[in-house]
Amino acid sequence: MSVYDEYDMTIGIECHVQLATKTKLFSPADNDARDAEPNAKVHEIDWGLPGVLPVLNEEAVCLAVRAGKALNAAIAPISRFDRKHYFYPDLPKGYQISQMYQPIILAGHIDAPLEDDSVVKVRIHHAHLEEDAGKLTHFSDYSLVDLNRAGTPLIEIVSEPDIHSAAEARAYATELYRLMTYAGVTHGNLYHGNMRFDVNISVAKKGATELGKRAEVKNLNSFRSVERAAEYEFKRQVDLLESGEKVVQETRGWNDDKQITTSQRSKEDAQDYRYMPDADIPPIVLSDEEITDIQASVPTLPGEYRKRWKDLNLDFSVVNTILEHQPVAITLDSVVQDQGANDVAKRVFNWFSSVQADDIDIAAVASGLVGPQRLTELSEMVSSNKLSSTGAKDIFLALFDEIYKGMAPEDIAKEKNLLQVSDESAIATIVDEVLNDPASAASIADIKAGKDKAIGYLVGQIMKKSQGKANPSLAQKLIRERL
C-alpha cells in the first residue's frame, strides 16, 4: 500500500463555456473571430470607448436558459449583472460584466459516466453569464493586445466539490462538454478555447473531517489536461504534506509540455474586485412560460441516449464513440427506436465505433444521406445472409465514398460484387468441384480422421472459387453432408 492510498482528493471545477451566438454579449461585433486579424472584430462598445453602453444579447440569454436544462438546473426568474473590477490591458472597461449576486442558472447536477460503468453525480452550484476578456501576447519587452475575444459571451459553470479522482474530473469535463454541445450552447471547439476549465484540488487524509487547502489550476482546455493536472496536483500535495510541508492556497498554471503545474499567484495577492451592480443593464426577467418555450427545442441529451441504448449491452467505449458526434447519435438512436435493441441495431453501432473518424463523413450522417434507413438496410442484409460481415463493413465505408454517394447498399453490393451466394445448388456445384480436386484429398482424410479444423482449407477454396460470394456457413454445411 502506497502513501497515496492514505489520502483522498476533493475537486471542484469551474468551466467557462463560450456561447455560440452570432454577436458578442453586449455589442453587435461578430462573435466568430477564428480566422480574423487581431482587433478586427471589435465594436466601439468592446473598445470601451467613452460614452458606450452595453446592450444585452438576447440570444446569449436563450443559450444560457438551454444550458440550464442540460445542467438539470432551475432558471432564476430574475437575474442581474454586476461589475468585477481589475486593471489589465485585456479588459477594456476596467471591469468585467458578470453576475455575482443573482446568476441566471441556479443549482443543478449532472451524471458523468465512468469507464467501469459507474456514474459520478456532480452537483452544480450555479452558472452565470459573463463576458470574456481579450488576449495578450507577450514579447521580450512589450505585449500586444487583441480584443477580438473581448465581450464574447460565456457561461461559467461552477460545480460543487463532488469530484474525488482524476478520472472523475475527466469524466465530468467530458460530460459537460457533451451536454453543452448537444444543447447547442457552444460550438465546443476546444482548440479555440470554447471551453476552459479551472480545477480546484485539495487533499486530506482519509477520514479527515476538514478539507485541505486547495490549489486552483487555471485555464485547462482539454479533458486530458484536466485529468493530468488533477493527478499531478494530488501527488504534489500529498508529497508536500508527507514531507511535513504545507499546501498553500494559490493559483497555478498547467505546463502542457512538462506536464506539471506551476505557481502563478498566492492568495495574499488576491485582488479585491469591488463588485457592484451594473446600472447600465436592467435585470433579466424570465417567466416560466418563456423558459419552457426556450427549453422546448433542446434536443435529446447524452444521458437519455445511454438510457435508451442500455439493452444493447454495448461497451462503454462504443457508446462514447457514438456520442462523440451528435448526428451519429441521433441517427443510430432512430435505428434503435425503429428496430428495438436487436442485432441489426447493434451491428450499426459497432460499425461506427470500429472505424476511424476520418473514414466517415459526419456531414453525410447529419444531412441524412447516410441515414437510419440505409444503415438498417445494410445491417439487415447481413442478418439475411446476403452479405458477409466483412462485405457489410466494406459497404458501410462505401456509403461515405464519393463514388457510391446516395446509392442503396444493395446496389453497392452488386456493383462491388459482394452479394453472398446462398443458392444451395450454385454452391453445391463449387463444393463438388473442390471435393473432387486431388489437392483436397489430404484435408478430406484429416477431417475423416477427426481433425475437424481441416475443413477451413476446403471452405477457403470454395470462397476463392466463388470470388468470396459463397455463404461460408452454407458451404460448410454442404461439405459435411458430402463427407
Partner 1 sequence: MITIGHILSRIKSGESSAVQEVEAALERAKAHASYHALLELTPERALERAKLVDEGALTGKLAGVPFVVKDNFLAFGAPTTAASNMLRNFDAPYQATVVEKLEQEGAICIGKSNLDAFAHGGSTENSAFGPTNNAIDTTRVAGGSSGGSAVVTALDIVPFALGSDTGGSIRQPASFNGVYGIKPTYGTASRYGVVAMASSTDTMGCFAHTAEDTALVMGVMAGRDSKDMTSLPDFFDGSIHPMNPMKIGIIKETMDNSVDESVRAVTNTYADTLRAAGHTVEEVSLPIVNHALAMYYIIIPAEVSSNLARYDGVRYGHRSEAAKTLAEVYSLSRAEGFMSENKRRILIGSFVLSQGFFDAYYLQAQKARTLLIQGFEKLFETYDALLTPTAAAPAFKLGENTEDPLKMYMTDVMTVPASLAGLPAISVPAGTNEQGLPIGVQLVGPLQSDNTLLSLAASVEEPRS
Smallest separation (angstroms) from partner 1 to the CB of 212: 24
Nearest CB to partner 1, comparing residues 54 and 391: 54
In whole angstroms, give the CA distance from residue 314 to residue 376. 18
The reply to whether 131 sits near partner 1 by the rule CB under 8 A is no
Reading the block at residue 396, the C-alpha cell is: 458501410
Nearest CB to partner 1, comparing residues 53 and 449: 53
| Radius of gyration, alpha carbons of the chain | 30
In whole angstroms, give the CA distance from residue 140 to residue 164. 41
Residue 204 backbone dihedrals phi, psi, to 5 degrees:
-155, 150
Residue 78 backbone dihedrals phi, psi, to 5 degrees:
-130, 125
Smallest separation (angstroms) from partner 1 to the CB of 270: 10
Smallest separation (angstroms) from partner 1 to the CB of 208: 29
Reading the block at residue 416, the C-alpha cell is: 462491388
Task: Select from 55, 119, 369, 397 the one that contacts partner 1 (CB under 8 A).
Answer: 55
- Quick check: 349 and 322 in contact, CB under 8 A? yes
Task: Select from 12, 54, 302, 371 the one that contacts partner 1 (CB under 8 A).
Answer: 54
Nearest CB to partner 1, comparing residues 44 and 359: 44
Beta bridge partners of 218: 253
Return the closest-CA partner of residue 183 out of 314, 67, 57: 67
Q: For Cα atoms 260, 265, 267, give the angle at the middle one, nearest 5 degrees.
A: 120
Smallest separation (angstroms) from partner 1 to the CB of 37: 17
With contacts defined by CB under 8 A, name the span among 41-49, 220-228, 250-258, 292-300 that binds partner 1: 41-49
Smallest separation (angstroms) from partner 1 to the CB of 140: 14
- Quick check: 103 and 126 in contact, CB under 8 A? yes
Task: Select from 274, 448, 451, 482 the one that contacts partner 1 (CB under 8 A).
Answer: 274
Binding string, 61-100, against partner 1, x = CB under 8 A? ----------------------x-x-x-x--xxxx-----
Smallest separation (angstroms) from partner 1 to the CB of 39: 10
Smallest separation (angstroms) from partner 1 to the CB of 265: 15
With contacts defined by CB under 8 A, name the span among 270-278, 285-293, 296-304, 458-466 that binds partner 1: 270-278
The reply to whether 49 sits near partner 1 by the rule CB under 8 A is yes
Task: Select from 1, 2, 37, 51 the one that contacts partner 1 (CB under 8 A).
Answer: 51
Determine the residue type at 442: A
> Taking the alpha carbons of 363, 365, 369, 370 in that order, is the dihedral positive or negative?
positive
Return the closest-CA partner of residue 410 out of 399, 423, 426: 399
Residue 364 backbone dihedrals phi, psi, to 5 degrees:
-65, -35
* Count of residues near partner 1 by CB under 8 A: 30
In whole angstroms, give the CA distance from residue 144 to residue 135. 8
Residue 297 backbone dihedrals phi, psi, to 5 degrees:
-90, 5
Smallest separation (angstroms) from partner 1 to the CB of 351: 52
The reply to whether 53 sits near partner 1 by the rule CB under 8 A is yes
The reply to whether 170 sits near partner 1 by the rule CB under 8 A is no
Cell 459497432 maps to which residue? 350
Nearest CB to partner 1, comparing residues 92 and 113: 92
Q: Would you tell me which residues interact with partner 1 (CB under 8 A)?
A: 44, 47-56, 83, 85, 87, 89, 92-95, 143, 145, 272, 274-276, 278-282
